[in-house]
Structure 1
Amino acid sequence: MKPVLTLPLLIGSLILLSGCNSSDSKANASEATPSDGDQTSVQLGPRPYFLINDMDEGDLKSALQACESKPQTPSDFSIAHRGAPLQFPEHTRESYVAAARMGAGIIECDVAFTKDRELVCRHAQNDLHTTTNIVAVPELNAKCTQPFVPADAASGTPAQAECRTSDITLAEFKTLNGKMDAFDPDAITPEAYLGGTADWRTDLYATKGTLLSHRESIELFRKLGVKYTPELKTPVVDMPFEGDYSQQDYARQMINDYIEAGVRPADVWPQSFLLGDVIFWVNQFPEFGEQAVFLDEKPNDPDNISMAYMEDLTRQGVPILAPALWKMLALDGNQKIVPSEYATHAKAAGLDLIAWTVERSGPLNSGGGWYHQSISSAINNDGDTYTVIDVLAKDVGVIGIFSDWPATTTYYANCMGL
């Protein structure tokens, strides 16, 4: 992946919670819609420096510290996972703009479909009840697969709701406000149910979350000067939807949005957890299929880490494999983080690799949670984020890393010349 060297001016003068670092150049402020000729600087804020200062002493820490005054530019190595959801409501305009400001060269729109078969940016087809205010909008809550039901303390029954993009139309979807992905299981009112944000995240930027259709995300990303990695979300409804909207119709529609917008295939990394979607793109849209990404969530049992498994993927035409980062990492006899057998076999089979997701586990002082499960005994401070990134980049050889806070990966990419 080649770094993008400039970033078009963002709408307005967004200022991140993390603020500007002294090494950042000042951004121009404008109320106008960004154009291809406008430019602005990358602003990382204090978090990368906080993580570096928290690292164990060693060569990597010294190398990263030596880059503190280096100018920052966007990098395709830095992939924004749902925008910048560590602090901004995911898959909202505000989250995407924040990610671009932090130098993400590629931004993700997870793609789901509405009742009228329009494509929108949501992490799951059935997450509107936790990522938007839908349960507090009576006329739309009533359309949910499971409208809000309050908790019953007497029986110990938690609050319930399930609201799908396919429950409502695009026009109705656009009236909703995005929020931090959370809910309060003890809520007895819809308004209380909207709470529950993890204490290591924040609701500071959740006062406004502008939802986007897939086509609107394409236009926004073009203006921001970033590239695209749409993920076709696995439907929770039976397909064909309503009897005549098939999985292939859905997969085709997503790619056609880029074709109709005149986006270069080389700027798009379409993703899916369904191998059939990836093979469909490889065969039906070969130019887009060259960068199709298979999101692999299979357990690390012997059959799923073997050379035979990896070679079978390459025979079917899969170019890029993207597992959770823990699947590509292991510990040697000295408790040093090293590439796993899975990663070694994937590279030997000729597969490119992308990792997900750093900055999603909260503080790492207790092992790093699910995303670091294969190396948890070697994770004991927030600075270990950079140790993980370094092993993924240098030893595993990934071509990009998803992050919930792209400033972290942008800093590493610039420091290491990626």
Structure 2
Amino acid sequence: MNSLVTLALAAAAVAVPVQPRGGGDDYLVSLGPRPYYIINNMTDGPLKTKLQSCENLPQTINKFSIGHRGGGTLQFPEETKQDEDAGARMGAGILECDVSFTADRGLVCRHSLCDLHTTTDILLRPELASKCTTPFTAANDTADANALCCTSDITKAEFSTLCGKQDGFNASATTPEDYQHGTPDWRTELYDTCGTVLTLDEYIDLVDSYPGHRDFTPELKTPPAQVPMPFSSAYVQNYTQQEYAQDMVDAFRNKSIDLSRVWPQSFTYSDIVYWLNNDHEFGKQAVYLVEFDTPADLLAGTNNLTVAKAAGVNILSPALPMLLSEGGPDNKTIVPSAYAHAAIAAGFDIIAWTFERSGPLATVKAREEYYFNSIANITSYDGQYYEVLDVLVNQIGIIGLFSDWSATVTYFANCFGLKGPVGGSYT
């Protein structure tokens, strides 16, 4: 073929636009190998066959897939731009920011008000480390290394200078540098190259910029005992929980975000009620997070379901072990728990947490891993991730799932035609 013709054909091929898949603007959802690894690790049966049938189908953004702390948290530093980018690329249709406050009443994305010592490099910044609630102390013969650094110890501007890292610490550390380590061996520090931390405003702008019209799920973090409310500092006096809850609402209203795209969350029931009573448009899509570990607490939580429903709560979000039990004739089958049945009977939509936060399933029992503790005796291979998801979707009927690796949930949701929660459908 004539070389000029060849070049012309090549140029024409380059000029042909890529067909949009799952969001427009030529945005390609990319899942990587993990969903296929899990499928290959499953036992043979109808579920595996169904999932295999979707292996070569186009993948799209799906709001059933909710990016926990960003959605790429299995490998990327949580609550960072890089983590949100990864979750978005893996098709998460809803992305999370856990909202904490700073000393000057700024709102920032951090899973706990007091986790900066394990999720950022604050201890390597002497001028900021000196402001920590508990400055670093080295390990010795009788005590582990210790530190406690809170977002409320520093200003929003100071927070924005930090680098995000994988959550972890070295209890044997004798220096702040050594303390930075401690990432679980099934995660990675490959991307610990100064994750870009986010303010709430930056998170809103970032998620709003992604193709595919993504939704937001901000969680108002409950202040720990070390940060009593009302909160006072050199910058604010008597900052109340209700002002904190209102500030989160205002951040979205100030940016003119359609509130049908916002799914606010809190473990604190009074926050949910505050939003319902004071900004119903915001509160009607609020996600009430619940975590009951003891039988007594679980019973009390079950009894309170009707109270929450009567107050106008529409969406309940329990932890995975609250929803799953060992059952069947031989007690070797994953089944919905009594709590799951009670939540369904009470009329709640259910969003569960957290998937892909557990590492290899062969070791969850030995590690006393939280998210599989109710079914640890019958959990032993990674293919069971999709068996669990099958029970959650097809027996319990959850409408969304938080995940540390969005690709896994996106694949399942697309294969089964799931859509996720529908904004604007609640009253």
TM-score by length of 2: 0.87
CA distance in 2 between counterparts of 1:268 and 1:185 reads 39
2:119 aligned residue:
131
1:327·1:340 contact (CA, 8 Å) conserved in 2?
A: yes
CA distance in 2 between counterparts of 1:62 and 1:274 reads 42
Q: How many Å apart are 1:309 and its aligned residue?
A: 2.2
CA distance in 2 between counterparts of 1:309 and 1:188 reads 47
Match of 2:46 among 48, 51, 59: 59
Q: How many Å apart are 1:331 and its aligned residue?
A: 1.9
Match of 2:62 among 75, 78, 88: 75
CA distance in 1 between counterparts of 2:354 and 2:167 reads 16
The structure-2 alpha-carbon separation of the partners of 1:232 and 1:303, relative to structure 1 and needing over 3 Å to count, comes to closer
SS at match of 1:365: helix
CA distance in 2 between counterparts of 1:262 and 1:54 reads 45
1:121 aligned residue:
109
2:171 is aligned with 1:185: yes
Aligned pairs for 1:255-404 within 5 A? 255-299=249-293, 301=295, 304-305=298-299, 308-332=303-327, 333-334=329-330, 335-367=332-364, 369-404=369-404
Report the residue type matching 1:393 in the other structure.
Answer: V
SS at match of 1:408: helix
CA distance in 1 between counterparts of 2:18 and 2:397 reads 34
Q: Please report the RMSD computed on the Cα atoms of aligned residues, expressed in angstroms.
A: 1.7
Report how many aligned residue pairs link the two structures. 385
Aligned pairs for 1:118-197 within 5 A? 118-152=106-140, 155-197=141-183
1:303·1:309 contact (CA, 8 Å) conserved in 2?
A: no
- Kindly name which structure, 1 or 2, has the bigger radius of gyration based on alpha carbons: 2
Query: Which consecutive residues of structure 1, in runs of 5 or more, have no partner in the other structure?
Result: 1-24, 29-35
What whole-Å deviation, never above 9, does each CA across 1:276-317 have from its counterpart, x for those lacking one?
A: 001111111111111101111123536744764221110111
1:365·1:381 contact (CA, 8 Å) conserved in 2?
A: yes
Q: How many Å apart are 1:232 and its aligned residue?
A: 0.4
Report the residue type matching 2:231 in the other structure.
Answer: F
Match of 2:228 among 227, 233, 238: 238
The structure-2 alpha-carbon separation of the partners of 1:136 and 1:313, relative to structure 1 and needing over 3 Å to count, comes to same
1:208 aligned residue:
194
2:351·2:401 contact (CA, 8 Å) conserved in 1?
A: yes
Identity of aligned residues (%): 51
SS at match of 1:120: strand
1:47 aligned residue:
34
TM-score by length of 1: 0.89
What whole-Å deviation, never above 9, does each CA across 1:114-152 have from its counterpart, x for those lacking one?
A: 000000000000000000000011110001011111111
2:415 aligned residue:
415
What whole-Å deviation, never above 9, does each CA across 1:199-238 have from its counterpart, x for those lacking one?
A: 1000111113001100110000000132100000011211
CA distance in 2 between counterparts of 1:26 and 1:376 reads 45
CA distance in 1 between counterparts of 2:410 and 2:18 reads 18
CA distance in 1 between counterparts of 2:333 and 2:199 reads 44
CA distance in 2 between counterparts of 1:350 and 1:307 reads 13
SS at match of 1:82: helix
SS at match of 1:222: helix
The structure-2 alpha-carbon separation of the partners of 1:383 and 1:140, relative to structure 1 and needing over 3 Å to count, comes to same
2:92 is aligned with 1:104: yes
2:245 aligned residue:
251
1:270·1:291 contact (CA, 8 Å) conserved in 2?
A: yes
